[in-house]
A and B are shown apart, each in its own frame.
Chain A
Amino acid sequence: MLGRTAASLFWMSRYIERAENIARLTEVGYRIALTPDIGSGHREDWQSTLIAAAGLNTYLERHSAITPEKVQHFLLFDRDNPSSVRSCLETARNNARAVRTALTREMWEALNSTYIDFTAVKASDLRSGKLPEFLDWVRQRSALFRGSMLGTLLRDEGFHFGQLGAFIERVDNTARILDVKYYVLLPTNESVGGDLDAFQWETILRSVSAHRSYRHVYKDRYRPWNIAEFLILRQEMPRSFRFCYGWIERSLEGLLEILGQSPQSRHDALAILSDLKSASMDEIFQSGLHEFLSNFIKRNNDLSSRIAHDFHFL
């Protein structure tokens, strides 16, 4: 397989995952805007959304003020924002076109029709409360793509690169969401536990679609300690660090079996996974949650570059 083909599959998956994540973040932001203003105000929440979406700087280069309409447009439709849902779908589709024959028809159609239908939607169509429905649709389409991939794609090199892209993007997203709000998760806050905090905690969980599953696992009210543990260390949580790294490691293992060589990236991934396996929330809070998250985001990024290097992505 060409290095470029592998790169295209990797980035195609990453961008579809990103489109879904941005849609979810936008939805959470929209929800906050509907709730009564508690304390700090909504402006800050949209700012947090932009930070979590890694788009605050790009946004501020273009807009002087943070307003819900502008942020929504920026996150969903802005062609100049490389991480807007629109840009993500376009980049994913271009990558898919370049390697069309490495995809199944189901995958291609899921992606192609999503892109075509998305481009038919104008921002003005989404007034009068149509936004949640639309964001739901984006997430469903992403799920359709992943379902097609899991259900129809041969388990060869291509599949592993697709998986790597998806999980590296997903875990990066989870880490960012946590890092933006890490201060509300610090144990010192727990005693306070006011309405504002409860609201923030729920927001974090909603951003990773985990506000219901949390209850199933913890059978308890929202507690920051648990939330952090849920998103970082629990292997049954499909957007947690631990879960994502389980798949990243498995995909690199799969590539090792096919190619017969063990690249540096696999050692790096194994090291991250074993750190996650042996970590405890005690230690993480002791040594600093923010530091832990920043370090993790960096290690994950480094792994992505290392994969590109090891497999000759260009």
Chain B
Amino acid sequence: MKFHAFNDQSGGTTRPSAGFDEMVRPDGSIRPAYQKLADWLSQQSRGLMAKKQEEAEAIFRRLGITFAVYGDSASNERLIPFDLIPRIISAKEWRFLERGIEQRVRALNAFLYDIYHRQEIIRAGRIPAELITNNEAFLPEMIGFDPPRKIYSHIIGTDIVRTGENDFFVLEDNLRIPSGVSYMLEDREAMMHLFPELFAAHRVAPVERYPELLRQTLESVAPAGCKGDPTIAVLTPGIYNSAFFEHSFLADQMGVELVQGSDLFVEDGALYMRTIAGKEKVDVLYRRVDDAYLDPLTFRPDSSLGVPGLFDLYRAGHVTIVNAPGTGIADDKAVYAYVPDITEFYTGQKPILQNVPTWRCAIKDECAHVVQNLDTLVVKEVHGSGGYGMLIGPHATKAERASFAKKIAAKPSNYIAQPTLSLSTCPSNVGKGPSPRHVDLRPFVLVGDRVRITPGGLTRVALKKGSLVVNSSQGGGTKDTWVLED
């Protein structure tokens, strides 16, 4: 089953080295945050864990996640396997991540404002002009527009990997329409049902306020002219979209309408939805439809998923679109390499979170390095996603590498390269009992009147032994993420 919108970023290679173990130190002792969990794990029988695994399935079924399943065939399976053993992040580690993420999302929103206005960062010579103006992800229609509170990306899923005690890297910023938050919420729900005593033994920071915080965030960016409580709606492409479950879930949890393009229309300078009692004005639209499909009058004329005139209303300040169109320029892979500079430029501080070292083939010397080291690098297409157009050096054959080198030579600016990272591991419940598996982390960030980061996020785990691929399409699962409070 495929998990939409997540893309295949995590290198995707197996390496001999085991990676940083988040529970067990190299000397075999247990790290403090994991002590209670380790003790508990040692007391659980394999039979009990198997029984709990079955119960978990029943819970997901009851929560309704099953209805996201496609097609005609067996439908009582969950989209992504669920790993019973929680991942634990200490209060100290989380404070560090939280600070780093907040710094980064603030800087990226400031960057978006700047490049759609005076482009000071280009004038200052910190990034090349072509990086922006020639970039398809830069949306000229957004130039000169001030979105409410000058925020472009309100809902963000920052992908983070860990390689050592203090080594956290941001792999991707996901500023367009990140998904997966429903899994975070349902995983928590399941763990509280399955292991109440284990849960109670830890002081776990809550995640269940996310829908409420999302609602507050959306309300806080209502158009200036909006009187009274703003009306919010979630715009979905419809039931055939792979993330439809999440759209429906979030609308329900926030207590707002889940709309499709055909439910909406523009009249007399306002956006309305068709209700059984007539029309109702919409002030804030949390859209889960891509930019190109939002408004056939301004963007793709063949789109039936959007609303004609929506973008004009947005620019006139009569409705807020969340996230703003054109945020893709800030999570573009070519721009990614500049995020440390971007962070410094807008915050005046050194970046707290590191980038994965990235070689830009657009730059001659860096390109030469990439071509010489193809056997150790992961090469990605700048505009690709979902693992398409990617070369995983250590796994590729000689011929594959040679042919990829030709592709790079033909259009260097289309490629970047990164080292294959050895992701950290956490204990996972895999048949024979707990065993370390590689993980990454997607914390969910909300940016409105203030920045709200839900403690933890979605941990994805590569359930196959030795695999670094956390994608659900290739044997990846999810697990609950416990951020401990002091």
Contact = CB atoms under 8 A, between A and B. Distances in A.
A203 B425 CA distance: 69
A1 B67 CA distance: 22
Contact of B274 (A108, A259, A312): A312
Nearest to A311: B276
B200 interface: no
Interface in A1-36: 1-6
A116 B275 contact: no
Interface in B326-361: none
Given A3-B274, A3-B275, A116 B76 contact: yes
B262 A314 contact: yes
A101 interface: yes
A183 B214 CA distance: 64
A105 interface: yes
Interface stretch (A92-100, A141-149, A204-212, A267-275): A92-100
A253 interface: no
A93 to B, nearest CB: 9
A1 B278 CA distance: 10
A245 B279 CA distance: 29
A174 interface: no
B379 interface: no
Nearest to A6: B276
Given A97-B239, A100-B64, A116-B76, A3 B263 contact: yes
Contacts of A287: none
Residue of A2, A105, A119, A312 with most partner-chain B CB within 10 A: A2
Interface residues of B, number: 28
Contact residues of B: prevailing secondary structure: mixed
Contacts of A2: 257, 259, 263, 273-276
Contacts, number: 59
Contact of A98 (B72, B75, B239): B239
Contacts of B258: 101
Interface in A260-314: 261, 311-312, 314
B158 interface: no
A163 interface: no
A314 B274 contact: yes
Contacts of A312: 274-276, 278
B64 A108 contact: yes
A262 to B, nearest CB: 12
A112 B273 contact: no
A197 interface: no
B275 A97 contact: no
A314 B276 contact: no
Given A97-B239, A98-B239, A105 B64 contact: yes
Contacts of A314: 262-263, 274
Interface of B: 62, 64, 66-67, 72-76, 238-239, 244, 248-249, 251-252, 257-260, 262-263, 273-278
CB-CB nearest 9 A-B residue pairs:
A101-B252, A311-B276, A3-B274, A312-B274, A97-B239, A119-B72, A6-B276, A259-B277, A1-B276
